[in-house]
Amino acid sequence: MKKLTKIVATIGPASDSPEMIENLIQAGVNIFRFNFKHNTVEWHNDRIIRVNEVAARLGRSVGTLIDLQGPEIRINMPVESIEVSEGELLVFGPESHMKQEKGFSISHPEIIQHLADGQQILADDGAFSFEFVKKEDKTYLRSLSHGVLKHRKSLNIPGADFPFPVLVERDFDGLKLAAKNEVDFVALSFVRSVEDLLVTRREMKKHGVNGKMVAKIETQKALENLDGIIAETDAIMVARGDLGVELPIEQVPYYQKVIIEKSVRKGIPVITATQMLQSMIDNPFPTRAEVSDIANATYDLTDAVMLSGETATGTYPLKTVELMSKTAQYNEHKFMRDHRLLYHYEMTDQTAMLTDAAYNLFLQLAQLQDHIKGFVVFSQTGKTVRMLSRYRPNTPIYAVTPSKEVSDSLTINFGVVPVVYDKPEHAQIVPEDIATALHHLVQEEYLKAGEKVIVLHGDVWGVQGGASTLQIATVA
């Protein structure tokens, strides 16, 4: 059995050597994430080049993803930390820098004027809770927690709808780097509306970025505008960290399922992220709950699962990926079903109808014990491949494409094995082309002689959306 669920691994000091990158790819990593909240632009540039060099040497399609910082709010204080007591009143705003009063400011102090009395404010991923208080011309936070609050920790204002910038200065450095290194995916943090995506897409185009846009769902506003966001973006990330601060934490599992279901229905790839194997940052073995979390994400039909600190700074990055890969592989094959009964996929065009017919043929042959070892899809843009992937067949989809850009963009899609294949000089797709492609898949040890596959292709090389032919082929 081959793993069908994709793995996104965040690169960091624990995983950035060429040897570790190769080991992680061999263990099941499909995409490397570069978290722009940390490290210098030069650091990221060097590591992106390194990942691409290792992938090229291995002859593998491996995606790269830059995760932009976005308008996150961080605590600014003149000292490294302060001890906070429950019920204590802290100065909140620039005054804390100008006087000897206890308190702190934030990285976007202009939003303080938009806060209302009693507004809940959370810090350090929800570890601290405060209530906003305005007295005459001063603003305060009444602490509802006790502990040591540190400089530069995160701050969340649940339900906030203030005039934040969509992109901050560092994000533009990220876009320039994405264009320079032909990065495959750009993730946008703290998405609130469709307009945020339109702004980002314009900036991506302006900077020459051809990668796919990933909208991170981590705010209440994003949930309110979810349908529109899914319609506009290229991919979705269920960013459970900040989402679990914005929402009551018990609601996160429900919204994870809602986001994934809506994404799958529209054929938009979706990543499930945050704390999937958090304990393995320090321990060689996960908790049972973490393993169940990965399994449940596969049952939810996520395209990909993501590791953050586990691979970036953790003690056991390789063990973590191996465990995630084994868990996904075992469980994705245990819970397969005809998902059309759940999702009622829209038949909007010829490609949709052809992929539906291909999946139906696959199910019928399975009932007859005529085992199909995969789909082979000739694709110029990846559209047919993505449409077929949304059915979540429990067999690989070999995406044969002449474009490395398309090949790398398919590293996010469930079950897809991208294969870069030089198209012949002639325009028509002829039987010899199919036989040659199948022989190539045998040479790469994806298929064996005598196995059967379902082949989808158009009549002419290079025609977008031209898939028109469906056939069963036996590998020679």
In the predicted model, is pLDDT for residue 96 greater than 80?
no
Report the pLDDT value the prediction gives residue 141, as an integer from 0 to 100: 94
- Domains observed in the chain: 6-70+166-332 (3.20.20.60), 73-156 (2.40.33.10), 340-474 (3.40.1380.20)
In the predicted model, is pLDDT for residue 7 greater than 90?
yes
Question: What pTM does this model have?
Answer: 0.92
Per-residue pLDDT tens digits for 390-432 = 999 999 999 999 899 999 999 999 999 999 887 766 677 778 8
In the predicted model, what is the mean pLDDT of residues 440-448? 91
Per-residue pLDDT tens digits for 12-25 = 999 999 999 999 99
Report the pLDDT value the prediction gives residue 476, as an integer from 0 to 100: 85
Report the pLDDT value the prediction gives residue 196, as an integer from 0 to 100: 96
In the predicted model, what is the mean pLDDT of residues 304-331? 97
Report the pLDDT value the prediction gives residue 339, as an integer from 0 to 100: 65
In the predicted model, what is the mean pLDDT of residues 364-381? 87
Write out the chain in H/E/C secondary structure.
CCCCCEEEEECCCCCCCHHHHHHHHHHCEEEEEEECCCCCHHHHHHHHHHHHHHHHHHCCCCEEEEECCCCCEEEECCCCEEEECCCCEEEECCHHHHCCCCEEEECCHHHHHHCCCCCEEEECCCCEEEEEEEECCEEEEEECCCEEEECCCEEECCCCCCCCCCCCHHHHHHHHHHHHCCCCEEEECCCCCHHHHHHHHHHHHHCCCCCEEEEEECCHHHHHCHHHHHHHCCEEEEEHHHHHHHCCHHHHHHHHHHHHHHHHHHCCCEEEECCCCHHHHCCCCCCHHHHHHHHHHHHCCCCEEEECHHHHCCCCHHHHHHHHHHHHHHHHCCCCCCCHHHHCCCCCCHHHHHHHHHHHHHHHHHHCCCCEEEEEEECCCCHHHHHHHCCCCCCCEEEEECCHHHHHHHHHCCCEEEEECCCCCCCECCHHHHHHHHHHHHHCCCCCCCCEEEEEECCECCCCCCCCEEEEEECC
In the predicted model, is pLDDT for residue 97 greater than 70?
no
Report the pLDDT value the prediction gives residue 29, as an integer from 0 to 100: 98
Per-residue pLDDT tens digits for 270-293 = 999 999 999 999 999 999 999 999
